[in-house]
Amino acid sequence: MRLFLSQYTNKIDNKGRVSVPADYRISLKTQFFNGIIAFRSFKFKTIEALDYERMQKIADSIDDLDFFSQNKNDLSTAILSDSYKLPFDSEGRINLPQDLLSFAGISRYATFVGRGSTFQIWDPAIFKNYLHKTRKSIKSKNLSLIIKNKQKDDKK
């Protein structure tokens, strides 16, 4: 499984190209596609980004829904038809479409934010504000995690 961590802020050039962090690029290269899949987030003012295999899993999950259901129609339209395949150029950059940049409020710089199996691309100031609110929320809720031993859990 791919693991996207940390935050990286990179400059966007005049043609809308931005360098994807090197450790992200290593995790994204697959036999099917050398780049990212990107679409507008439903919850945040950001761009959701993932590898080809993860998008295939999402498409498969949508395919498992009843063929004529409204849920299938809504999800396939909102995710699949709104997704972009963005290949890496020879320098590890992607060309972000203007509608994605506008949606996320991104202009000169893009912050890549690791989220485990996926990552997001934010405007740096918007992300900084979101991160501050998130940390405040975690503290006020006194949230915590229990780390389970995977090997013990698998034997049950």
pLDDT in tens, 14-55: 999 999 999 999 888 777 789 999 999 999 999 999 999 999
Q: Residue 32: what pLDDT? A: 78
Distance in angstroms (rounded) separating the CA atoms of residues 21 and 10: 8
**CB 124 within 8 Å of CB 109:** yes
Q: Residue 29: what pLDDT? A: 76
SS3 content of the chain, % helix, strand, coil (to 5): 40, 25, 35
The one-letter amino acid code at 149 reads N
Question: What dihedral do alpha carbons 100, 101, 104, 107 form, nearest 10°?
Answer: 180
Determine the 3-state secondary structure of 82 from DSSP: coil
Beta-strand ranges (E) seen in the chain are 7-11, 17-19, 35-40, 47-50, 84-87, 93-95, 109-114, 119-122
Q: Residue 92: what pLDDT? A: 94
**CB 22 within 8 Å of CB 132:** no
The one-letter amino acid code at 146 reads I
Ordered domains of the chain (ranges, CATH): 7-155 (3.40.1550.20)
Residues of the chain with pLDDT under 50: none
Q: Residue 28: what pLDDT? A: 87
**CB 4 within 8 Å of CB 118:** yes
The tokens describing 120, both together, are 């997001």
